[in-house]
Amino acid sequence: MKVLIIEQEKTFKQSLSFFMQGQKNAEVFLAGSKKEGLAFLQMSPFDLVLCGDQLPDGNGLQILKELVQQNPKLISILMTARSNPSLKQEALSAGIRGYLEKPFDLRQLEEVMGVTHP
């Protein structure tokens, strides 16, 4: 599984990376901005994209909307520090698979990804 994490908060991004690398066959790539994330996406397709909603050079929701339009099978997850029901509704209506409010439990992330435990 190829995973791209687009998040400006470095510590949070590193923690997610460590967790994702513990998942089966996860190859994780990190981007701190929209520009970096789009550069990775132009080089290679990804199975999962985790994206913060506030990036230094763009809007995470817009990035994910465009990615889902290009690849409806993409597992896309928007992460936000704001509790905003209308943002959540907009994300889910656009086909984004998950919406997580920071801080979130890693089990919530697993649920959105579709990981099941025996």
**Considering the entire predicted model, what is its pTM?**
0.93
Residue 43 half-sphere exposure toward CB, CA atoms < 13 A: 9
**Extents of the domains making up the chain:** 66-101
Which helix or strand (DSSP H or E) is residue 69 part of? helix 60-70
| 54 in Cβ contact with 9 (< 8 Å) | no
What are 57-70's pLDDT values in tens digits?
A: 999 999 999 999 99
The Cα 69–Cα 74 span in angstroms is: 9
Say how many Å lie between the first and final Cα of the chain, rounded: 20
Structure tokens at 93: 């209506």
What are 91-108's pLDDT values in tens digits?
A: 999 999 999 999 898 899
